[in-house]
Structure 1
Amino acid sequence: MKLKIFLSTALIFVFLFLFLPKTMSFEPFNEEEKNLFRFDLKKNFYQSDKDFESDVKKAKEIIKKIEEHKEKVGSSAKELYELFSLISDYTDIYYKLYAYGEFREAINTKDRKAYETYLEVSSEADSKIAFVKVELKNLTREKFQEYLKELPELAKYEFVINDTLRKSPYWLSQEKEEILSKLAPTRFEWQGVLFQLMFDRTKFEEIEAQGKKFDVGRDFEGLLRNPERPIREKAFKSYFSTLGSISDVCGFALYNLMKSLNEEANLRGFSTYYEETLFDSYLTKSEMENIFGQIKENANIYKDYQKYKLENAKKRENLSSPQIWDIEIPPTDAEEPRFTASEATEIVKKALSSLGPKYLEELSALLDPKNGRLDIVGGPNRRQGAFCEAGFGFFQDNYQGYLSDISTLAHESGHAIHHRLVLLNRKGEMFSQCPPYLTESFSMLNEYLLRDYLLKTLKTEKERKAIIYDQLNEEMYLWELARRAEFEMASYDKVAKGEVKDAEGFNNVCFEVGKNYDIFFDTNPELKLLWMRKHHYWTVPAYYKNYVVAQILAMKYFELYKKDPQGFAKNYVAMVEAGMDREPQKLLKDFLGIDLNDKNLLKNTLQMVKEHFEKIKKM
């Protein structure tokens, strides 16, 4: 199936928001900016529906040309080159249709025509060109090497073809692949749609604070930072109560998605869909279990951090028994800065300028609101979260100027610029397709660079201390990411075994996994519903494991950057723009000297977190 790329980095309330806003009346946009920070889809995509349909027609014409290679795949070097050139051309058009449909639906979830059209095109393509991967099973690696010598231009597609050959033992017959591809939207898309519809149609409670009314669903994070404790408590309990009221439908959708994905994975020889995605990403289940195991073995670091925050809340508000909704109370020596949308775009550009002029040029074009590639002003019927689609643009449901918002802007910009650099260097969107943990690591590094810049430029000591605390939050985020990822891995296993069939089953898995990472699961039964907080499980299945690996890589990148900023930037950008011209582990080792199998990689990362935590406790 074609997975939708919703790459949100909004961190869970339990640990992300340490600081109170300066004032609940802060306005992230002036009246002019509310119109400026919107997509200009006509400028960047299509002037009319007729133009959109023209690209749909082009995509289908390329599909027909690809079909002409049926029963010829791999017959000669020239044939193989022509075939993958067509696939590359189709991929470029598909990405544009894809981004256009996603953006239209994101800014208005009732506007689904373009969204559904690109799904139809995708389904048709997957069905009609399924023969390519099936017929490639007959191409030996030895024969392919002969073709490379015969036609050097074919080297452009060397990794793409080798990657296909690696997966060839798991392809089914052409007939079966065509049927599965054709049915994919019907089998796998409705669950994410149903999840979103439930949130669109569910009315969350309104809470009045500082003379304004706030929607508990839309403004949850802001309410949890409210200076009035009764408001925080009410928001917390109301939010999870509402989640509980729709958990049965969301659980029904998630179970059916996991069950269907597992069934198809079984046909290919994998025990679960999760295992299949690991293979696709050049990872193994044993490697992930090893990572989860090491992180859980050191969960005392994160749990001590949570206890530290509770103790701070107790002292600062003179509480006899601080609760989970009190842990966002700010240290008295820190004040979270807030940034208007215009300030945020300028700060992100300056923070990432250290990556060099090529990176900055593309970033500046993305973040200039006059170019119509940003849509971040809240409103009705908007999709939850934040994401980029290739290099076309950035969507956020409701930018509010918090540190999390500007961090999300920096993060998602990383995805967009990765696509742009690869497209400029390799002349095709096809080559930007790599394991998500690589793309996520590129984006997470931007968050580290942003905080590094803010520490150097913010005017007050209190604001700088807020960034220091936020940086520790980001490091501690590793345990939250691992909790979410292990929940997903365990859920696929338990669905496959018939041990999970509904929302209650997911509640149980969420609780059993969560208590190994987080002290609050034992005292707050509502947290068993945390699996409903992230759309990824429905919209980009089995994705969260990538965040775990990416977080470790990003911390390693930052370590290298601090040692040699210019040298790192040169090698790093070269790696990013190279695209997938070799296996991911080789990319990391060749350009940056990073070995994912290094037994000390995680050890050094966790030691850095410990030292940072100890430093903050002494502040």
Structure 2
Amino acid sequence: MQTRRMLATTAIAALLAVVPFSGLRAESLRADDRAYFANAAAEQSARDALGRQLEALQHAAGIAPAERFRQAEVMEAQCLRHHGYLHLQAARNARDHRPAQALDQVMGLCSRIARTGRAVLREAPADAAWAAPYGFLRARALKDAAAPANAELDEAVDALADPALDSFARLRGQILRTAVYPQIERGGRRWDTGRDRQALAQQPDRTLREAGWKGYWQGLQSRREPMASVLLGLVQVNDAAARLQGEGPAPARGYQHMGLDAPTVDVTLLAIEHHAGDRRAYQDILLRHAARTGIDSPQLWDTTVPDAGYTPPVLTLAQLRDTAADAMQHLGPAYVAELRALLDPGNRRMDLATERGERSQDAFPVNAPDAPAMLFVGMRSGDLESDVEIAHEAGHALHGEWMQRGHASPLQRNGSPWLTEAFAIYSELRFRDQLYQQAQDPRAKAYYLKSLLDDMVMQLFTSSEEAQLEQSIYQGAAAGTLGTADDLDALTGQVLARFGQQPERYPQLRNSWMAKRLMYEDPNYLVNYLYAGLLAVQLYVQDQHDPEGFRQRYLAVLGEGFDRAPQAQVAQLLGRAPDWPALVDADLKVFNQMAVQLQALHARIEQGEGA
């Protein structure tokens, strides 16, 4: 998610303090996508031509393998351009299904092109010089070709399971849209505890925060029975499909696709669990500070607001750009220049709005070989988390730019999601750190340092409990111990307690299985964030201890694409083979040191500094 730094800190801080939220209205942007295609008709025409080219290549005879592979690379690059363009069009108007349908077609086309390229590699002699740079891709192609014992069975299972899983995901969304969230009338405004959850958490009025927190969980609970049916049905279908295809339980299949295995994941989760006390200690720090600043018997909903008298500034887009660029200065002028160009409003490479309208509430980079990277942000709210989202997606976009600089093969631009996410999460950690470093008022420094610590909690602890919860649900469904919403509540409470949460004090948290969107929309993906977060925090640490060595390692891996196993790339990034439990300990050591820094800031604030 993000990055940054600034000149003349005091003057800029004063400027930011007076930027009104309403000023964002003038900063909606529409990306100039003509660098991809002149218009929708041109894209359609080029897409049809690309389909014909693929058909011709697949049926052509007498083409040397090296040339056949080169043509597949060229076509994949073109296909990625179509994908980026259509993804952007579909997100601009979520009600118009035509770009989304075209995007589905393009994804199928890109997949067929990639299969054509892999087939050429499989058939190439082991000593073919032209194939040497694609050794990892060739090894994967050979493994995939050898794996299926019954290809027809696999296709039949996918044909049945995939539409069912998609239906379950859609059904979840439909059910949640019928949830009944309490409405709050306060100060002439009507609040919806579901839609306005984040805004309510930031309100100075304590009773409003509490009502917002409890109302959100009350709304979720109103749909717990049908949600349980959806989740357990989805789990049964997904797990049965994995077992029928000979890949074992669905979670184990997910780990294998990550380049990991179940024992590795289990030992990593256990290592995080051993640090549950660190999470509880951090929560106690926040609650004690709330008590010492005048809140009687503080609760969770009292830890989400800045210190009294401090209002976080709203960044203009130019200020966001400068901050993000300053945060990544250690990666060198070339990286910073690319980042500034991406985030410069004048370059029209960002597509964002300050009102939702018909836009998708998604955020993503738009990348393709030989085309400028762009960003789509469904809605920028102007708060810190919205800007962190932009910095995160900018990290993804710069990854694509660096692969282009490194001449990565279009067929090797997509790889392990957890490694891809690590780069973007590292960017967001740097972005938060930059705001913390440049702040002067102790209340501002505490606000941004807390945001950095909260991010680490999410990456390390929340990701662990999500991975453990999903794994446990699959295990419970297979064992026949889960059948009701009550069962899911009880299991969720057990998992949360293992990772430092307090479901006995806040029983509403046991309903959080309903809020894990990716468990429904992308089963067994959540565990990717655990490893992405572990690696991202360590990257954040290493860039401070060895800035020059880190810069060289990071940019080298960033530019090569996914031409090696993810574990090998991680070993280069860290300078050693990854030992995940040791990485957990190292990350939590840094986390605890930063928590001590936050305590010191709290002491200054409690003594009246910054008031």
Q: Which amino acid aligns with 1:575?
A: V
Instruction: Give the SS at the match of 1:395.
Output: strand
- CA shift at 1:313, angstroms? 2.5
Structure 1 match to 2:21: 27
Structure 1 match to 2:511: 529
| Residue 411 (1) aligns with residue 405 (2) | no
| Residue 327 (1) aligns with residue 303 (2) | yes
Which of 523, 540, 544 aligns to 1:562? It is: 544
Structure 2 match to 1:486: 468
Structure 1 match to 2:341: 365
- CA shift at 1:420, angstroms? 2.1
> Would the alpha carbon gap of residues 272 and 227 (structure 1) be closer, same or farther in structure 2, given more than 3 Å must change?
same
* Structure 1 spans left out of the alignment, 5+ residues: 1-6, 10-21
| Residue 235 (1) aligns with residue 212 (2) | yes
- CA shift at 1:571, angstroms? 2.1
Structure 2 match to 1:3: none
Q: Which amino acid aligns with 1:31?
A: R
Q: More displaced, 562-571 or 253-262?
A: 253-262
Structure 1 match to 2:77: 92
Which of 150, 175, 179 aligns to 2:152? It is: 175
> Would the alpha carbon gap of residues 122 and 254 (structure 1) be closer, same or farther in structure 2, given more than 3 Å must change?
farther
Distance (Å, rounded) in 2 between the aligned partners of 1:548 and 1:45: 34
Structure 2 match to 1:14: none
- CA shift at 1:489, angstroms? 1.9
Instruction: Give the SS at the match of 1:490.
Output: helix
> Would the alpha carbon gap of residues 56 and 492 (structure 1) be closer, same or farther in structure 2, given more than 3 Å must change?
farther
- CA shift at 1:465, angstroms? 2.8
Structure 2 match to 1:64: 55
Which of 602, 611, 615 aligns to 2:584? It is: 602
Q: More displaced, 90-99 or 346-355?
A: 90-99
Which of 347, 350, 354 aligns to 1:377? It is: 354
Let me know the Cα RMSD of the aligned residues: 3.5
- Say if 2:353 and 2:378, in contact at 8 Å, map to a contact too: yes
Distance (Å, rounded) in 1 between the aligned partners of 2:326 and 2:308: 29
Distance (Å, rounded) in 2 between the aligned partners of 1:418 and 1:104: 22
- Say if 1:334 and 1:465, in contact at 8 Å, map to a contact too: no
Q: Which amino acid aligns with 2:327?
A: A
Structure 1 match to 2:203: 226
Structure 2 match to 1:616: 598
What does the per-residue CA deviation read over 1:78-129, in whole Å, with 9 as the maximum and x for residues that have no partner? Answer: 43x4554454345434434433444344343322222123224435775898
Distance (Å, rounded) in 2 between the aligned partners of 1:136 and 1:199: 46
- CA shift at 1:364, angstroms? 2.5
- Say if 1:423 and 1:432, in contact at 8 Å, map to a contact too: no
> Would the alpha carbon gap of residues 103 and 358 (structure 1) be closer, same or farther in structure 2, given more than 3 Å must change?
same
Distance (Å, rounded) in 1 between the aligned partners of 2:491 and 2:389: 29
> Would the alpha carbon gap of residues 606 and 458 (structure 1) be closer, same or farther in structure 2, given more than 3 Å must change?
closer
Distance (Å, rounded) in 2 between the aligned partners of 1:326 and 1:24: 26
Instruction: Give the SS at the match of 1:189.
Output: helix
Structure 2 match to 1:12: none
Q: Which amino acid aligns with 2:287?
A: L
Which of 582, 590, 600 aligns to 2:572? It is: 590
Instruction: Give the SS at the match of 1:339.
Output: coil
Distance (Å, rounded) in 2 between the aligned partners of 1:63 and 1:165: 22
Structure 1 match to 2:13: none
Distance (Å, rounded) in 2 between the aligned partners of 1:441 and 1:184: 30
The within-5 A match list for 1:10-409 is 26-27=20-21, 29-34=23-28, 36=29, 38-40=30-32, 42-65=33-56, 67-68=58-59, 78-79=64-65, 81-123=66-108, 147=125, 149-150=127-128, 152-179=129-156, 186-199=163-176, 204-209=181-186, 211-319=188-296, 321-331=297-307, 336-370=312-346, 371-390=348-367, 392-409=373-390
- CA shift at 1:553, angstroms? 1.3
> Would the alpha carbon gap of residues 501 and 386 (structure 1) be closer, same or farther in structure 2, given more than 3 Å must change?
farther
- CA shift at 1:299, angstroms? 0.1
What does the per-residue CA deviation read over 1:292-348, in whole Å, with 9 as the maximum and x for residues that have no partner? Answer: 1011111011012222322333332331x3322222243469764442344223311
Count of residues in correspondence between the two structures: 583
Distance (Å, rounded) in 1 between the aligned partners of 2:236 and 2:26: 48
- Say if 1:377 and 1:396, in contact at 8 Å, map to a contact too: no
Instruction: Give the SS at the match of 1:600.
Output: helix
> Would the alpha carbon gap of residues 302 and 352 (structure 1) be closer, same or farther in structure 2, given more than 3 Å must change?
same
Q: Under a length normalisation based on structure 2, what TM-score does the superposition of the two structures give?
A: 0.84
> Would the alpha carbon gap of residues 436 and 130 (structure 1) be closer, same or farther in structure 2, given more than 3 Å must change?
closer
> Would the alpha carbon gap of residues 122 and 231 (structure 1) be closer, same or farther in structure 2, given more than 3 Å must change?
same
Q: Which amino acid aligns with 1:303?
A: R
- Say if 2:25 and 2:354, in contact at 8 Å, map to a contact too: no
Instruction: Give the SS at the match of 2:127.
Output: helix
Q: Which amino acid aligns with 1:475?
A: M
Instruction: Give the SS at the match of 2:364.
Output: strand
- CA shift at 1:482, angstroms? 0.9
Distance (Å, rounded) in 2 between the aligned partners of 1:465 and 1:424: 39
- CA shift at 1:215, angstroms? 3.9
> Would the alpha carbon gap of residues 315 and 456 (structure 1) be closer, same or farther in structure 2, given more than 3 Å must change?
closer
Distance (Å, rounded) in 1 between the aligned partners of 2:174 and 2:375: 22
Distance (Å, rounded) in 2 between the aligned partners of 1:502 and 1:344: 47
- CA shift at 1:472, angstroms? 2.2
Q: Under a length normalisation based on structure 1, what TM-score does the superposition of the two structures give?
A: 0.83
- Say if 1:67 and 1:129, in contact at 8 Å, map to a contact too: no
- Say if 2:391 and 2:431, in contact at 8 Å, map to a contact too: yes
- CA shift at 1:285, angstroms? 0.9
- Say if 1:136 and 1:168, in contact at 8 Å, map to a contact too: no
What does the per-residue CA deviation read over 1:246-302, in whole Å, with 9 as the maximum and x for residues that have no partner? Answer: 344444444344333323321332222221121122111111111110111110110
- Say if 1:200 and 1:381, in contact at 8 Å, map to a contact too: no
Q: More displaced, 165-174 or 513-522?
A: 165-174
Structure 2 match to 1:436: 417
What does the per-residue CA deviation read over 1:510-534, in whole Å, with 9 as the maximum and x for residues that have no partner? Answer: 2221121233311222212223334
Distance (Å, rounded) in 2 between the aligned partners of 1:59 and 1:572: 35
Instruction: Give the SS at the match of 1:519.
Output: coil
* Structure 2 spans left out of the alignment, 5+ residues: 4-15, 602-611
> Would the alpha carbon gap of residues 594 and 536 (structure 1) be closer, same or farther in structure 2, given more than 3 Å must change?
farther
Q: Which amino acid aligns with 2:95?
A: K
